[in-house]
A and B are shown apart, each in its own frame.
Chain A
Amino acid sequence: MIPMYYMTVMTFACINILLSLSVGVLTGYAGQISLGQAAFMGIGAYTAAFVTTKMGLSCWLGIPCSVFATAIVGFGLGLISLRLKDDFLAIATMGFNFVVVGILLYAPMFGRALGMGNIPMLSLFGNPLSREAYLGFCVGSVVAVILVVWWLQRSWVGLAWRAIREVQEVADVMGVNITKYKIFAFVVSTAIAGLSGYLYAHFVLFITPYDFVFTNSTFAVTLAVLGGMGTIRGPVLGAIILTVVPEYLRFIQDYRMLTYGLLLVVILLFQPEGLIGNKSFLWTHLTRLRIFRRKPVSVEATQ
């Protein structure tokens, strides 16, 4: 029997892994900077809350609703992103985060600053899921998302994303429809963030706009950067570290954001590839070990 405390930490780790992977897809693979991922998580969480508390629908219906709602908004932001890149895109997504929080703070249907409570726990055949079962559901969601991201990044879609990340204009001249693939990256990324919001809402059961403010978007980026962009393992490790370690550093709780900021600066200065990014110090040394050595890409490998 796992103690409740550890289960809570593990569930939050799963939610953060999803948030981190959403950054990993958008920024790590497709090279589109987003400083508004918390807003998408918020849209997912509020959709889940709205569907169950206001519309009285099944909490399971919340999954497609949350994912679909965030994906639609992601599609819209993707359209906007076609005209923006780099710093300007970062600022636009940051602004988007403020707008979403502003709407949640002032719209009566979302409970304004008081947020939305009474969100039901997930239940199966009328019985609420236990914390263990909920953790299992979160782990299952993480595994499913990892599989989807892995599938995408090894496909030609992943190749197109990486080409866009490298030099967008050249990718365009090489026949990559950058409009389509950038929007697709936004849709996939925001859908994952929406799913993390759904899991968050049904775990904490009470959400406020302050859970999805800009600082949390910075946190999401920190998770992915710490682990290593352009990989799946990086964002996963980053999320695990930054969920578990703060639990042992509660005495500096008030300086948490300061610590994240410093961590981000240090990582970007000394290990821009993250802790286990493809060219990080740690990963290059690990891959020299036989068990981690990757086979070169060959025709046979694609069979």
Chain B
Amino acid sequence: MTVLRTAVDRESVEYTANRDALLAKIVELDVEQAHAVAGGGEKNVTRHHKRGKLLARERIELLLDPGSPFLEFSALAAWGSDFTVGASVITGIGVVNGVECMINASDPTIRGGASNPWTLKKVLRANEIALQNRLPVIGIVESGGADLPTQREIFVPGGRMFRDLTRLSAAGIPTIALVFGNSTAGGAYIPGMSDYVVMVKERAKVFLAGPPLVKMATGEESDDESLGGAEMHARQSGLADYFAADEQDAIRIGRQIVGRLNWRKQGPAPKPDPAPPLYDEQDLLGLIPSDLKVPFDPREVIARIVDGSEFDEFKPLYGSSLVTGWAQLHGYPIGILANARGVLFGQEAQKAAQFIQLANKSDTPLLFLQNTTGYMVGKEYEQSGIIKHGALMINAVSNSTVPHLTVTMGASYGAGNYGMCGRAYGPRFLFTWPNAKSSVMGPAQLAGVLSIVARQSAEGRGQPYDEEADVQMRAFVEAQIEEQSLAPAMSGMLYDDGIIDPRDTRTVLGIALSAIHNAPVKGASGYGVFRL
């Protein structure tokens, strides 16, 4: 085992400046997350409490084992859209009666908990995490159904929510619905498709059609309780398996159900008593340059997230712009690929492809620490086959079946995003640091490319090029791309699972790895044709 050394100088001007810059980003993140936590605002929250109801987050807190962590996903979902940040639903992994579960709770203080397109994306992502990692799903249901003005974007894809539930069930992953309020029309299929259903007395309302629609459809007079009350479903329809006296009772029953799942994690157990890193996580703030153009040594990051700061580097002298090696994190073995100087050359790509295959042979999960500007361009590199080399790496990443974790530490540009297991390559979890940026290329480069193309086009037509307009265009494009590449914008689109404080990286990855090991960890048996 090799213990990493550190060269971080806490007294340096850069350290202080970097730290200040990153802390400012973290404050911005906190402000955005506070919007999500605020839900439907003070008035709605007060009204909800006055009805004797717990808030969605209060329900989750009560459901979780005291002192256990909760890793919330997509807290900034819908950021930059017309919808409330957080998308009216909370999803995350929490421990219930000693079992890691995927919890999703609709927030009834925001438009009655109605689902908008972002809500749907967020819930479907949560279901995907549950299915891939074999996490029992607990739904805390109180939702007025679809947000009707956006039904066009919800109705058709929304069917997947119910398909997911029964597929989870078919895969042997239990699904539990705790119905606290409305769950009507399409929403009725959430309890309908769940393995276990708990309904709260005089609160749950589960029917296909409410009294007005029934009256219109058949002329029958009815009321909420007889159509879909908890007592009716517990005594007559049999849709409710458990009749809860009140909200806390529903949560008590939910915990009891999980306690009886006889849940066994299928992945290997972590090594006990892992040593913490030797170096302070606080240094992460000072060692990450505020300017993405300045490279940093990812070993300084690795030294602050892996057990005992121990890292056995693989092929250190070959393709040194990408660091690869073995470590352990919260007791779980991992292979790490980390960009060292941004650019990926042919050697780096080949090294990555080999390393990924080795990890698959030893069933070792992989961690990608992204800080890449993409694959090298230029005549020399094209001629020596940079496309083939990039393809090798992308082939290996795509067909690797060990779990992948990705953290975007800084830049994530171009095909580097793909090779380093960006969102489209299906990492089990992808988290972003607040300073990170991601786009097809750097904003300045993109604006410059547009400018060159426009200039060539003008010259081709024999027209004079408007230099003043060019300056304006470049500034506008650069600003727009810059804004779209920022972490909140990417996270708002659900291109990651959340923005995290860099100091939480070890904790977040620890929770993710533990969750991953609910499913078996097994390497790939085949890849696409490697173009050699």
The answer to whether A binds B is no
Q: Which residues of A contact B (CB under 8 A)?
A: none
